[in-house]
Structures are given as structure tokens and as C-alpha cells.
Amino acid sequence: MDTVPRELLQAAYRRKPVYLLKIPLHFSLWAALTWVLYATQHHPLAIPIGIASSWVIANLIRGLGAVAHDAVHGSCSRSKLVSYLIALVCWAPTGMSVTLYTNYHLHHHKIANTYPDVDNFVVTDYTRSPVLAKLLLLAVYTFAYPLYFLGCMARYVKRLSTLQRVRMNLELVGFYAIMAAFYVVMPFQVFFFFFILPFIFGAMLASVTSMIEHYEMLPGEDAYSSRTYGTEARFTNFLWNNVTYHNEHHKFPGIPFYNLRSFHEAAYPHYDDRVRSACHRSIVGIALELYGRILRLDIAKLDERYRDINKEAERQKMMALNGIPPGVTA
């Protein structure tokens, strides 16, 4: 990817603020679906309508999270305050503190796929049984990744300053106070399809896509640190705001979400074979392939990868590093 022409990169880095209108669009669609939930709560098909609405809401929240993720990288605005406010509004529906997420995610870019990287789930740290290891991997990468993720966040709370910890808690209290208010004023059936079921669906989406993006990828050169997927899934990418172009994002984290697809298509002829092999047209196809790899897990091969690593020393060394700065372009 180092041979991508400079003019393509310059075009890709260009900010187009009009695309930030997707923020009110996504929230408006969420509001419209909430109206549908109210209007159909006594309909004979209320449950299937609710499930379908919840699935779309989960995808909308994932798309908002993609915009927040860009704001964390400084790709939405040159202003730190504006970037923070965009991230706060768009990341809040996930129930996660944007302050904590920022510290984790920028650090993830610094240490991608190394042993201490949260996105590198090392199953042998939890079990040596081949059967249990496969079951645990399947669970984490089907629905339980957010639980594992939250368990890892304690190490990032320790990295926050006192002021940042205060801000983190204010963010969490503020969001859950809003959700509590919705719970009070909404009929439970509506609230269930408005937030609870989308939260569950969102956990599943986060689990599967985490597997696709980083499972079995190796540390080192950013061009080879992750997978791009779902390049033909145009409607999904519209809802997800191009978060599937993950290879491009890791190599060039300053490219805004709305330029990722066009950059991929223009730059693809300049990719080497190894990068091309990590680009996939579908989402389901690569997910099934990786589930197959999990079922063929070789504990001995995984041990070999970490044989010469003092895991605790490696974790301490990597956790002492600062993350990449917001606004970095490559």
C-alpha cells in the first residue's frame, strides 16, 4: 500500500462536512422506527415488526459508532471540542464512555495484534482444552465479545488521568440517565425493541466483525494488520458508514469514513497480493471461513506464536506506550 499514488491519498484525506448530515439522518431513522414501534405495539405482527425494527436500529447505532470512531481519530473536524462532541453524541448509544474508548482505540492502533492488544483474543490465557478453547472462541466471536472487551477496559481506566476519569463517569451517568428516562416514559414493549434488543443485536455485530477484522492477523506493518470486508455490501456499508474498510483505516487512519470506499476502489490496483488477499467482497463468507478456522484450532500452533514472549512483561511494556495521536494520516 506504500505505492498508492499521493494524489489518491490527498483526495481521500479531504474533509467533506456535508457527510456529517448522516448523524441526524441516523438518529431520525431511529426516531421513525420508534414511532413504528408505538404505532404497531398492539398489532398482531407487533413482535416480528419489533424484531425487524430492532435489527435496523442496531445497524444504525453501529453506523453512528463509526462516525464517533472517526471523531476520535480527528477525521471529522480540526477542532478538538467539535470532535469530542461528535464522538460523545454518536458513541453514547453503545453505552460506552467516549473518553475511555478514545484511550483504548488509539492505543489499539499502536499495538495492533500484539499479545496485549484487546482485539487479539488469546484463548489459551483462559483454557488449555482444545474443545473448550473452540467453544470459547465461538462464543466471544458470536455474541460475547463486548463482555470480554469490558473485562479488558480496567487496564485502560488506569491509564486515565483523574480529570479523565471524572469525565468518563459523567459520560456514563449521563447516558444511562437518559436511557432510564426512556425506560420510565416508554411502554416496556416499545423500550425493549427501541434499545434492549438492538443492544443485544449490536453485541452480536460487534463480536462477528471483531473476528473478521483481526482474528489470526499478525502484528507489524499496518497494511497487513486487518481485513477489509463487505465491499459489495453497499446497503450495509451505508448504514455502517464504511467501517468494513478496516485495512485502509489501519494503514491510513486519517481518511474520513465517507472517503474509504472510493479510496479502496481507486487504490486497489496498487495493492500487493498480500493486501488483496485480506480484502473480501462479502461479510458472511469471510465470517464462515473464520469460524471454520476456529473449529480447526491448533493449540500447539498458537503456543508457538507466543513461545518466546514473557506475557506479563510484554503487557507492561505495551501498556506503557502512548496511542497514536488523533489526526495522524499514515
The string of DSSP letters for 97-164 reads -HHHHHHHHHHHHHHTTSTT-TTS--GGGT---HHHHHHHHHHIIIIIHHHHHHHHTHHHHTTS-HHH
Residue 154, phi then psi, degrees to nearest 5 = -60, -35
Query: What single-letter DSSP state applies at residue 21?
Result: G
Region of 306 (left: φ > 0; alpha: ψ -120 to 50; beta: rest) is alpha
3-state secondary structure at position 51: helix
Confidence check: pLDDT of 330 > 90: no
User: Could you tell me if residue 325 is inside a domain?
Assistant: no
User: Could you tell me if residue 149 is inside a domain?
Assistant: yes
Residues 28, 30, 32, 35, Cα dihedral to 10°:
-140
Confidence check: pLDDT of 271 > 80: yes
Confidence check: pLDDT of 329 > 70: no
Q: pTM of the predicted model, to two decimals? A: 0.94
Confidence check: pLDDT of 1 > 90: no
3-state secondary structure at position 221: coil
For residue 111, give the C-alpha cell.
499495538
Domain total in the chain? 1
Cβ atoms within 10 Å, residue 224:
21
Tens digit of each residue's pLDDT (9 = 90 or more) over 101-114:
999 999 999 999 99
Q: Identify which has the larger pLDDT, 220 or 34.
A: 34
Q: How far is CA 319 from CA 43, 78, 151, 251, 315, in A?
A: 53, 28, 16, 21, 6
User: Could you tell me if residue 14 is inside a domain?
Assistant: no
Domain, as residue range, for 88 = 22-319
Tens digit of each residue's pLDDT (9 = 90 or more) over 72-102:
999 999 999 999 999 999 999 998 999 999 9
Confidence check: pLDDT of 327 > 80: no
pLDDT of residue 16: 95
Residue environment code for 78-95, b if the CB has 16+ CB neighbours within 10 A, otherwise e: eeeeebbebbbbbbbbbb
Angle at 140 between CA 106 and CA 26, to 5 degrees: 60
User: Could you tell me if residue 330 is inside a domain?
Assistant: no
Place of cell 497487513: 224
Tens digit of each residue's pLDDT (9 = 90 or more) over 215-249:
999 999 999 999 999 999 999 999 999 999 999 99
Measured N-to-C along each axis, helices 46-72 and 197-214 cross at an angle, to the nearest 10 degrees, of 50
User: Could you tell me if residue 324 is inside a domain?
Assistant: no
The percent of residues in the chain predicted with pLDDT above 70, rounded, is: 99
User: Could you tell me if residue 11 is inside a domain?
Assistant: no
Residues 325, 18, 79, 62, Cα dihedral to 10°:
-50
Distance CA 197, CA 26 (A): 18
Q: How far is CA 290 from CA 78, 137, 285, in A?
A: 38, 11, 9
Quick one: which of 284, 290, 280, 134 has its CA closest to 211?
A: 290
User: Could you tell me if residue 295 is inside a domain?
Assistant: yes
User: Could you tell me if residue 1 is inside a domain?
Assistant: no
